[in-house]
C-alpha cells in the first residue's frame, strides 16, 4: 500500500509539474504581456476606431463614417507624400545594401588593426540623429557648406542642396547612407559565417576572385541580403522623420515631405487625429504588401548552403 501510494504521489507530481511551469512562465511574461496590451495592442485598436472618427484632440471624438477615407482620396498632398516616400525607399534601400556590403567585404580581412577600421565605419550609425542632421545642414549650406566648397575646388557650380526641390530628397538619402555601418556589421557576420573550405576548393579548381564571389559568396549571403532588405524597407518607410523635420521641414515645395512627417503634421500640428490614424493604417498596409511580395519573391533568389549544387 505504501509503495502504491508513493507511486501515485510521483505520478501526481509529474502531472502537476507542467502546469506549475506554465504558471511560472506566464507570471514571468506578465509584465511584457501587460505592456504589450496597454502600450501596443490598445493604441492599435484605438487607432482603428479613430479611422472612422473625427477627433480634433481638443474636443471629444465624433463618428465620421468613411469621411477620412474620402478625404484621403481627395488629398493632393497624400499622393505627393506617397511619391516622395517611394522615391526615398526605392533609392535608399538598394544603395544602403550596396554600401554596407562593400564596406563589409573591404573589412573582412585578417590584418592588424582591422578592428579599429570596423569601429570607425560603424560609429556614424550610432551618432544621434539630431546631431547628425545638424552636421549635414552645415555640409549642405549653400553659402559656406563643405559640399559647395568641394564643388568649387573641382571647378563645378555650387548647388542649393536642401533648398533645391530636385536635390532635397537625394540629400536626405545621402545623409541616410552615413549610417550604413549598422548594415555593415550584419553583412560582416554573414561573410564570416561562410565556410572557408568552399573558397579553398574553388581556388584549387582555378576559380578567380570575382567568380568565387558570384558563385559562392553572393548566393550564401542571400539570406542576409533578404533580411536586410525586409528590415530596410520596413525601417525606411517609417524613417526619415527626424531628418526631414529638422533639415527641411518637408520643403521646399513639399519635395522632402515624407509620409511619417505628413502623418505627424496631421496628428500634432493640424489636430486631425482621425485622418492621421487613416494615414497610419494605409502605411501599415503598404508595408505589409511590400513585405509579402518580398517573401513571395524570396523563393526564387534566396539560397542556403544546402541549396548550392
Tens digit of each residue's pLDDT (9 = 90 or more) over 261-271 = 999 999 999 99
- CATH code at 180? 1.10.3720.10
Asked if residues 93 and 230 have their Cβ atoms less than 8 Å apart, the reply is no
| pLDDT for 3 | 54
> How many residues are given for the chain?
309
| pLDDT for 198 | 82
| pLDDT for 204 | 85
Helices (H) and strands (E) in the chain, counts: 15, 2
User: Are residues 229 and 141 part of one domain?
Assistant: yes
pLDDT at 286 over 90: yes
DSSP state of 109: S
Asked if residues 187 and 99 have their Cβ atoms less than 8 Å apart, the reply is no
Kindly state whether residue 216 falls inside one of the protein's structural domains.
Answer: yes
Q: Is 154 helix (H, G, I), strand (E, B) or coil?
A: coil
pLDDT at 11 over 60: no
CA distance 97 to 117: 19
User: Are residues 271 and 223 part of one domain?
Assistant: yes
| Percent of the chain scoring above 90 in pLDDT | 50
**Strand (E) or helix (H) holding 105:** helix 76-107
pTM for the model stands at 0.85
CA distance 99 to 102: 5
Asked if residues 298 and 304 have their Cβ atoms less than 8 Å apart, the reply is no
Tell me the three cell numbers of residue 45: 485598436
CA 138 to chain centre: 26
Kindly state whether residue 62 falls inside one of the protein's structural domains.
Answer: no
User: How many structural domains does the chain have?
Assistant: 2
CA 54 to chain centre: 31
Residue 290 pLDDT grade (very low, low, confident, very high; cuts 50, 70, 90):
very high
User: Are residues 238 and 90 part of one domain?
Assistant: yes
| pLDDT for 289 | 94
User: Are residues 245 and 99 part of one domain?
Assistant: yes
Residue 111 pLDDT grade (very low, low, confident, very high; cuts 50, 70, 90):
confident
Using alpha carbons only, how large is the chain's radius of gyration in Å? 26
Mean pLDDT value across residues 99-104? 94
> Which of 34-43, 106-115, 186-195 has the weakest average pLDDT?
106-115
| pLDDT for 8 | 57
> Which of 24-28, 85-89, 181-185, 240-244 has the weakest average pLDDT?
240-244
Burial class (CB in 10 A: 0-12, 13-18, 19+), 11: exposed
User: In terms of pLDDT, which residue wins out, 204 or 93?
Assistant: 93
Kindly state whether residue 93 falls inside one of the protein's structural domains.
Answer: yes
pLDDT at 295 over 60: yes
Amino acid at each position: 500500500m505504501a509503495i502504491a501510494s508513493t507511486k501515485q504521489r510521483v505520478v501526481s507530481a509529474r502531472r502537476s509539474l507542467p502546469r506549475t511551469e506554465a504558471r511560472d512562465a506566464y507570471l514571468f511574461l506578465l509584465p511584457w504581456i501587460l505592456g504589450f496590451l496597454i502600450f501596443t495592442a490598445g493604441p492599435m485598436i484605438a487607432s482603428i476606431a479613430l479611422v472612422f472618427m473625427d477627433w480634433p484632440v481638443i474636443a471629444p471624438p465624433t463618428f465620421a463614417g468613411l469621411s477620412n477615407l474620402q478625404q484621403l482620396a481627395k488629398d493632393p498632398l497624400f499622393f505627393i507624400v506617397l511619391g516622395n516616400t517611394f522615391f526615398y525607399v526605392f533609392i535608399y534601400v538598394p544603395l544602403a545594401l550596396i554600401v554596407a556590403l562593400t564596406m563589409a567585404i573591404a573589412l573582412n580581412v585578417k590584418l592588424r588593426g582591422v578592428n579599429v577600421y570596423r569601429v570607425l565605419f560603424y560609429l556614424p550609425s550610432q551618432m544621434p540623429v539630431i546631431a547628425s542632421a545638424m552636421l549635414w545642414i552645415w555640409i549642405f549650406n549653400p553659402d559656406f557648406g563643405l559640399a559647395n566648397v568641394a564643388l568649387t575646388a573641382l571647378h563645378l557650380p555650387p548647388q542649393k542642396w536642401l533648398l533645391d526641390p530636385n536635390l532635397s530628397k537625394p540629400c536626405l538619402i545621402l545623409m541616410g547612407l552615413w549610417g550604413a555601418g549598422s548594415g555593415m556589421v550584419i553583412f560582416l557576420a554573414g561573410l564570416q559565417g561562410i565556410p572557408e573550405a568552399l573558397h579553398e576548393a574553388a581556388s584549387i579548381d582555378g576559380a578567380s576572385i570575382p567568380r568565387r564571389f558570384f558563385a559562392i559568396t553572393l548566393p550564401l549571403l542571400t539570406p542576409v541580403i533578404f533580411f536586410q532588405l525586409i528590415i530596410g524597407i520596413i525601417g525606411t518607410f517609417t524613417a526619415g522623420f527626424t531628418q526631414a523635420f529638422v533639415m527641411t521641414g518637408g520643403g521646399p515645395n513639399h519635395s522632402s515631405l515624407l509620409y511619417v512627417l505628413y502623418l505627424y503634421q496631421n496628428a500634432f500640428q493640424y489636430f486631425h487625429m482621425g485622418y492621421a490614424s487613416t494615414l497610419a493604417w494605409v502605411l501599415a498596409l503598404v508595408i505589409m504588401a511590400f513585405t509579402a511580395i518580398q517573401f513571395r519573391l524570396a523563393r526564387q533568389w534566396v539560397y542556403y548552403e544546402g541549396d548550392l549544387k
